């Protein structure tokens, strides 16, 4: 993607950006009903990037889809740039949450989905992207249990499983969601059709999780 190549800086989190690029592209290209000319349209789908570290891919996708001019990418994290090392909802058009402290997005997405449901807005769907290492924060498990108990079927979580810094997942990541009543899909995080198919799955009264496997060897790319 040419937009990503424009991105300079943020060397530290480059691997994190690369692991999320395919999923983000599929989300914005095929799944999310969002309008760059009206980023705050009430009926829009919500996308929350919990894993706010390494947002270069996120910024590149938002720019390509017209949320802001592509030349913003040339000055990522520069002194006058609106694009910081961690996304700021007050500065980046199309960004739902400020992130950078891990283990927040899933909980915030539960609140977003509950709020939409309470107002009778049945059309918008809430998507949240989390990292596998980030799931070690206990707050995620509170959110997973609550979403399952309340049957939040307007919520889909995507876990990027690049087997990064974590103690591992005996029985798999998906099983921890499944025991709390979530439906699950396990996909190759580089296969765009598989990602799209996984994201489209939905069963009434159950939240859904897509575990996107990304080979750690890609991390050095």
Output the smallest distance, CB 103 to other proteins, in A. Answer: 7
Where b means 16+ CB within 10 Å and e means fewer, 88-102 reads beeebebbbbbbeeb
User: Is the separation of the CB atoms in 16 and 51 below 8 Å?
Assistant: yes
* Radius of gyration of the chain from its Cα atoms, rounded to whole angstroms: 16
Binding test (CB under 8 A) with other proteins, winner from 170, 204, 205, 220 = 170
Output the smallest distance, CB 43 to other proteins, in A. Answer: 29
98 binds other proteins per the rule CB under 8 A: yes
Stretch that binds other proteins, among 36-44, 75-83, 120-128, 188-196 (CB under 8 A): 75-83
Record the tokens describing residue 82, joined without a space: 């609106």
In the sheet with 155-161, reading across from the earlier edge strand, the strands are 46-49, 126-131, 155-161, 208-213, 183-188
Q: Which position has the token pair 């006058």?
A: 80
The residue among 64 and 166 lying less far from other proteins, judged by its C-beta, is 166
Binding test (CB under 8 A) with other proteins, winner from 3, 70, 114, 145 = 145
Binding test (CB under 8 A) with other proteins, winner from 102, 108, 116, 185 = 102
Output the smallest distance, CB 85 to other proteins, in A. Answer: 5
178 binds other proteins per the rule CB under 8 A: yes
CA distance 205 to 200: 15
CA distance 101 to 108: 12
- Report the interface residues with other proteins, using CB under 8 A: 52, 77, 79, 81, 84-86, 88, 98-103, 133-134, 136-139, 145-146, 149, 163-171, 175-176, 178-180, 216
């Amino acid at each position: 993607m040419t937009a990503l190549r424009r991105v300079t800086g943020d060397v530290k989190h480059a691997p994190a950006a690369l692991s999320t690029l395919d999923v983000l592209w599929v989300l914005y290209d095929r799944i999310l009903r969002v309008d760059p000319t009206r980023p705050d349209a009430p009926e829009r789908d919500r996308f929350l990037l919990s894993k706010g570290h390494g947002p270069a891919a996120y910024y590149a996708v938002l720019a390509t889809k017209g949320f802001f001019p592509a030349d913003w990418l040339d000055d990522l994290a520069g002194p006058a740039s609106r694009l910081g090392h961690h996304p700021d909802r007050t500065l980046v058009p199309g960004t739902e949450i400020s992130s950078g402290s891990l283990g927040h997005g899933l909980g915030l997405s539960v609140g977003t989905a509950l709020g939409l449901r309470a107002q009778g807005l049945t059309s918008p769907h809430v998507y949240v992207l989390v990292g596998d290492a980030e799931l070690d924060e206990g707050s995620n498990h509170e959110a997973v249990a609550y979403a399952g108990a309340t049957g939040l079927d307007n919520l889909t979580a995507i876990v990027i499983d690049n087997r990064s810094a974590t103690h591992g997942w005996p029985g798999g990541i998906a099983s921890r969601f499944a025991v709390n009543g979530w439906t699950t899909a396990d996909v190759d995080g580089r296969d765009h059709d598989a990602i799209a198919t996984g994201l489209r799955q939905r069963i009434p009264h159950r939240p859904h999780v897509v575990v996107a496997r990304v080979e750690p060897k890609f991390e050095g790319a």
